């Protein structure tokens, strides 16, 4: 018999350890927790994973996560449609929404420019952003990419492509350089939104 226990348990540990931030020991603890948990609790986790994979996709307009063709933000008629906040990943929308400082729409790029990793402008949703702005009605594009080297390069590239169109602003200081937007607190992001500046 394997030192890792029965084969199904070893497979569960292996799958859990593939999750970001989960090492081998944490994966083992989680696996043993699930093994001890009541059947309905363990099966509910499995069903939640299956449901999210089957039902959650990308919004056809902004590329945020959506259950259906449009996300809840794009479908909300009370949102300010003259402003678009550009973020790298769907997870970046959540902390901005928690600030209650922003009432416009979003555009999720699906990453940041990184030629070293083979990620060029064509790999991101930049053309779709330009098309949205080109249709008219957008007065301001807020660039809320992460304050990292790749995030800054992405923001500068988009600002250059939008020059002469809508006003382009960038989140102000308050977000530490090198940090991810996803991990910043609401106060920091709120201050950054309130003090955003033009890149023109």
Write out pLDDT tens, residues 30-61.
999 999 999 999 999 999 999 999 999 999 99
pLDDT at 182: 82
Q: Across all residues in the chain, what is the average pLDDT?
A: 90
Domain extents in the chain: 7-55, 70-198
Q: What is the dihedral of CA 138, 143, 145, 147, to 10 degrees?
A: -170
> Long-range contacts of range 183-189, CB-CB < 8 Å, 24 or more positions apart?
184/95, 185/95, 186/95, 186/98, 186/99, 189/95, 189/96, 189/98, 189/99, 189/101
How far is CA 96 from its chain centroid? 11
Output b/e per residue, 85-122; b: 16+ Cβ within 10 A: bbbbbbebbebbbebeebebbbbbbbbbbbeeeebeee
C-alpha 46/C-alpha 92 separation (Å) is 26
Better-scored residue on pLDDT, 76 or 189: 76
pLDDT at 2: 46
Confidence of residue 192 (pLDDT cuts 50, 70, 90): confident
**CATH, domain range 70-198:** 3.40.1360.10
pLDDT at 3: 54
C-alpha 158/C-alpha 41 separation (Å) is 46
Q: Which pTM does this prediction carry?
A: 0.77
* Residue 156 confidence (pLDDT) above 60: yes
The CATH class of 7-55 is mainly alpha
Whole-angstrom Cα Rg for the chain:
20
| Element of type H or E holding 87 | strand 80-87
In sequence order, the 6+-apart residues with CB closer than 8 A to the CB of 138 are: 81, 82, 83, 84, 132, 165, 166
* Residue 77 confidence (pLDDT) above 50: yes
How far is CA 182 from its chain centroid? 8
């Amino acid at each position: 018999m394997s030192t890792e226990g029965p084969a199904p348990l070893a497979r569960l540990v292996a799958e859990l350890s593939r999750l970001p931030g989960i090492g081998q020991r944490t994966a083992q603890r989680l696996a043993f927790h699930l093994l001890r948990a009541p059947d309905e609790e363990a099966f509910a986790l499995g069903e939640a994973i299956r449901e999210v994979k089957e039902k959650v996709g990308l919004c056809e307009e902004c590329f945020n996560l959506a259950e259906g063709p449009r996300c809840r933000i794009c479908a909300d008629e009370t949102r300010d449609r003259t402003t678009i906040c550009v973020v790298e990943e769907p997870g970046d929308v959540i902390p901005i929404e928690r600030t209650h400082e922003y009432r416009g729409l979003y555009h999720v790029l699906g990453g940041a420019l990184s030629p070293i990793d083979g990620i060029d402008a064509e790999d991101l949703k930049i053309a779709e952003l330009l098309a949205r702005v080109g249709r008219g009605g957008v007065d301001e594009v807020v660039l809320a990419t992460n304050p990292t080297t790749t995030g800054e390069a992405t923001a500068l590239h988009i600002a250059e492509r939008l020059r002469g169109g809508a006003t382009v602003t960038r989140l102000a200081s308050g977000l530490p350089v090198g940090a991810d937007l996803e991990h910043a607190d609401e106060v920091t992001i709120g201050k950054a939104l309130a003090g955003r500046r033009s890149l023109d």
